[in-house]
Chains A and B, each alone.
Chain A
Amino acid sequence: MQKKIFLLLTGLLGTSLHLTADVGFAKSNTDLLLNGEKVGVLRVLSPVEVISEEGNLLKIKVSGYQLANYPMAIVRDTQRNEEYAFLNKDKTSSLRSLKKEEDEYGESWDKVEGVYTVASQAISKDNKSLYTQAKDVYESTCGGCHGVPQAKDYTVNQWPNQIKTMNAKVTLDSDTKWLVTKYLQQNAKNAKSKDLK
């Protein structure tokens, strides 16, 4: 069952906590709060489940995978290193482990989720305008020197270092660099394939 349908059904069933449940996307790199305290950063374009609205804040759930050797980063899955969120070193216990997995290289991972609050205006219902913005920056910034590889030319894992190493030749601030990187990752060669094997 697709997550969205599941959430919709949960909402229809009337569980009060999930009345507003839906998928949203971070509009920018955004502070993740727990009991009003900053515990990490939600990366731009990362998908979240919106659980409830509390004044100017939203309660959201972040789901992903956490590498035992580097627990601060929550990434899409064991094979796709798209960073959804980054937690302060002493706040990684705010995540709940759902199951443990070992990848084909022997690294240990936890499938995790965590519930946090973020500013309401930080979450967008769709990612289209962010994609347009990212594509515009990517094409105008990178198209001046060379032909622009399509997002699907590289994998989810390859894109961050491609952008990082080219960044010496262009000036992108950190937030814009994240926006472009995440856009490229979410449209990368293996972004949509269900079976990576």
Chain B
Amino acid sequence: MNRRDFIKVSSTIGAVTAIEANTLQSLTENTLYDEQEMLTSNRFGAFYVKKIGGEIVSVRPFEGDKFPSPLINAFADNLKNDNRVEYPMVRKSYLKAQGPSNPQLRGKEEFVRVSWDVALDLVAKQMKKTFNQYGPESIYGDCYWWGGSGKVGYGQTVARRMMKILGGFVEESGDYSTGAGMVIMPHVVGDLAVYDTPTKWKAIIKYAKNVVFWGTDPVNTNQISYEIPLHHSYKDMELLKQAIQEGKIKAYSVDVKQNDTQRFMNSIFMSIIPNTDTAMMIGMAHYLYENKLYDEDFIKRYTVGFAKFKNYLIGKDDGIVKNIHWAENICGINANSIAKFADILAKEPSIILVGRALQRQDHGEQSFWMITVLSAMLGHIGKQGCGLEFSLGYDASGSVDKKAPILQGISSVKIDPQYTTKYPDAPWTKYENIVIPSSRWVEAIANPGKEIDYNGTKIKLPHIRLMYNASGSLFTRHHNVNNLLKQLQKVETVITADPYWTSTCKMSDIVLPVATELERIDIDQSCWTREYFFGRKIVSDPVGESQSDFWICKEICKRWGHEDVFTEGKDELEWVKYIYADAVDQAKVLNVQMPSFEEFWEKGYVQFNEDDTETDYYTRWESFRQEPYQNRLGTPSGKIEIYSPIIEKFGYDDCKGHPMWFNPIEWLGKKEVVKKYPIHIVSSHSKYRLHSQLNNSYIRTFAEVSGREPLLLHPDNAKERGLKTGDIVRIFNGRGEVLAGVLITPTVRKDVGIISEGAWYDPSKPGEVSLCQHGNINVLTMDKGTSKLAQSNIAHTTLVQVEKYKGEILPIQAFNKPKIIQSL
């Protein structure tokens, strides 16, 4: 029996401890003459791995990838680097006590290598015990989005499925990316808007004369996707650039820095003070109103509540006229430029592409609401290729659609009814999940039982006692890390399943090694276009004893006596076949040919060639514009709600009946804070990772300065501080301090610093409030909800001071393993 077959059999029969440590085939079996190329895929693309002697030495993009991302090169490096979790681990005190013990030692104490049986028994026992004693509110199981992927073994899905079988858990509504948008937009346009099928690039290029990128950078963010990105939108963006170069379209970028999209499109750059976009939009709205440039007919036919908003614009109640000069004083953009901008957008067919950044700030609901109101006044909403769009920031969103079936995945919530009949008293029949607003879980840990406002209701925060994390990175995702450190000590048990020794793993009690997409079986689809299905075979043996999330969750359920409920009698390959068979049934209805499963699996992919021409020029709200009564929006009025009586009745002081300007809790206009912390930090996406993923590969060196995350700083601010590019600086405020490497550039607005989110957390004293050596921005951000409406995060509302670092420069430890011992 060869090693591959052994692993397969071990997995099939559920052997837990029999799997030997990874044997490095290159040393014991293969020679350099053994060369092989295999197809694989993940959230960065589809690509071939070249193996020599059994080890992956390089990658080559899949031929169907329209614009391969350089990020795929990371996998020849980080798949087997020192950062992998190789074996199940339990923190020493926790193992000794066989349960919760000394949480204050997390981050400081050694981990003990244990067998899968020991780790899984402990996990299953503690989860069951906690649930039985305290119910769903005690188990935090949100398991954040981006770790792993696939229709069978995606960590988030299978972990939630496992916790559903347990009886339920605490989950978050919405997400960190666009939590405020997801709550405000259903009030304004009647649906989420932020994840809707977007307007096609093709329609934009054909019909729009002005394209505004407002706080968005698709050239950067479209590299990745929640399924497999094949980057079609990069071809669309090239066509847009061509139209700009030919003078057919003008592009604008409203942002705090000249981002990649601005540079690629050569957009007219409007440099705005962070967090003041709403004020600029209000100034534009006032200009349109005063100069009768707004589309009165659109307002009348397709919106409600303009009269109340108009009174706000002209200052009827507060005496403040929100004109372009008022806006200039807040947003820092010259009044004449604001006027000219509004004028052009009103007179020519235009579209505004909106980025998530606008709502990841204090009162983030207002900017999304206001940009909708502004667009309604401009009157282009629903005209082909024009209006407003929130969803063009992912991979191939807005590109061509193919006539193809859609792969269904294993469900995170559905329990097959046969098991409810078989286990009539099962916990999943008795409880429902506890849902809290996105990013409020640390507040829950700090104040269990506290009531908070949320979207017209009161939410009682749950008492979280145990966390199960399937990937996800708490210390780079969540804000005010030092508070998180403190609050996490109140959680009795932290379990993390992850391929890598992240800061979350290091702060856990039990760590379960997870196999990546390259090391397990799955199936997935190319995102948005539906052009390809990809089969995922094992292209590299799992590192150490790592196992798929599917296997781990199955084993936990087995210990609860519910393995059959989790698997429904199918192993991973059988699930792949089952999902493929469902797609074959769909294809028959669509009259689309598909190969047999065996042919598909052998080849590694199936392509769907035929374009769905019906959606070529799809434009958001076009049908609403054409037939507003037939296609009523989901708002109470059926129209765009410039004024929402529902929100007004909530009576919130921080989100009222129509969009308005609120001073953010921190911003450059808050003089008393600026004296101490004069730089506004904005934490945009890095183009060299996916949030924190791939920071543990050589890719990070593409954009590090002096071994730290770069801080982009304006030359004037650097000069004031005597800084030069390459200096290591201390960035700090009342919440914490981090080190970063300075990169001086005029592409950033003065008094603004850019430090991308996701740099791995590297405390100089692990487990304690201390200096982050590596530049994790969330040590400095604030953990506060946007408003009582959405309670989402305000990552971009952060003031800091920057100074040259004079202390001892320690080596970066973020990517090292913690201390590990072989036995107690």
Contacts and interface: CB of A to CB of B under 8 A. Distances in A.
Interface residues of A, number: 39
Given A147-B160, A149-B173, A171 B634 contact: no
A129 B215 CA distance: 48
Contact of A157 (B409, B412, B638): B638
A153 interface: yes
Interface in A93-148: 104-105, 107, 132, 136, 139-141, 143-148
Nearest to A75: B632
B410 A165 contact: no
Interface string B634-661: 1111110000010000000000000000
Given A136-B417, A147-B412, A165-B197, A158 B190 contact: yes
Contacts of A105: 304, 637-639
Given A144-B410, A155-B634, A161 B417 contact: no
Nearest to A190: B636
Contact of B191 (A81, A139, A161, A173): A161
Contact of B173 (A104, A153, A160, A173): A153
B151 A144 contact: yes
B634 A160 contact: yes
Contacts of A73: 630
Given A79-B636, A161-B191, A170-B406, A70 B629 contact: yes
A141 B408 contact: yes
A147 B634 contact: no
Interface centre among A145, A149, A166 (most CB of B within 10 A): A145
Interface in A12-55: none
B275 interface: no
A139 B639 contact: no
A152 to B, nearest CB: 10
A143 B413 contact: yes
Nearest to A163: B191
Interface string B186-206: 100011100111000000000
B190 A161 contact: yes
A73 B627 CA distance: 13
Interface string A68-81: 01100100000101
A162 interface: yes
A159 interface: yes
A194 interface: no
B586 to A, nearest CB: 5
Contact of A161 (B407, B586, B634): B634
B31 interface: no
A67 B631 CA distance: 13
B414 interface: yes
A30 to B, nearest CB: 21
Contacts of B630: 70, 73
Nearest to B407: A144
Interface string B392-415: 000000000100011111111110
Contacts of A168: 197, 401
A143 B159 CA distance: 12
A45 to B, nearest CB: 18
A3 interface: no
B411 A144 contact: yes
A69 B629 contact: yes
Contacts of B635: 157-158
Given A70-B630, A170-B406, A171-B405, A150 B414 contact: no
B413 A148 contact: yes
A90 to B, nearest CB: 16
Contacts of A161: 190-191, 633-634
B411 A159 contact: no
Nearest to A165: B196
Contact of B157 (A132, A144, A155): A144
A158 B401 CA distance: 26
B401 to A, nearest CB: 7
Contacts of B435: 150, 153
B677 interface: no
Interface string B407-433: 111111110010000000000000010
B637 A173 contact: no
A192 interface: no
A144 B150 CA distance: 9
Contacts of A136: 414, 417
B402 to A, nearest CB: 12
B589 interface: yes
A157 B636 contact: yes
Contacts of A162: 191-192, 634
A104 B638 CA distance: 12
B409 A81 contact: no
B186 A154 contact: yes
B140 interface: no
B410 to A, nearest CB: 7
Contacts of A67: 629
A105 B304 CA distance: 7
Nearest to B415: A139
A166 B196 CA distance: 6
B645 A173 contact: no
A1 B761 CA distance: 64
A141 B196 CA distance: 17
Contacts of B173: 149, 153
Given A81-B638, A161-B633, A162-B634, A145 B226 contact: yes
B645 A104 contact: yes
Given A154-B186, A165-B197, A145 B629 contact: no
Interface string B224-250: 001000000000000000000000000
A158 B634 contact: yes
B147 to A, nearest CB: 14
B408 A170 contact: yes
Given A145-B226, A153-B173, A157-B638, A139 B304 contact: no
25 contacts: A81-B634, A136-B417, A140-B408, A140-B411, A143-B157, A143-B409, A143-B411, A144-B151, A144-B410, A150-B432, A154-B186, A155-B634, A155-B636, A157-B638, A161-B634, A162-B191, A162-B192, A162-B634, A164-B191, A165-B196, A165-B197, A168-B197, A168-B401, A170-B406, A171-B590
Interface of A: 67, 69-70, 73, 79, 81, 104-105, 107, 132, 136, 139-141, 143-150, 153-155, 157-162, 164-166, 168-171, 173
Interface of B: 151, 157, 160, 171, 173, 186, 190-192, 195-197, 226, 304, 401, 405-414, 417, 432, 435, 586, 589-590, 629-630, 632-639, 645
Given A70-B629, A81-B634, 9 more contacts: A105-B639, A144-B408, A147-B412, A155-B634, A161-B633, A162-B191, A168-B401, A169-B406, A173-B589
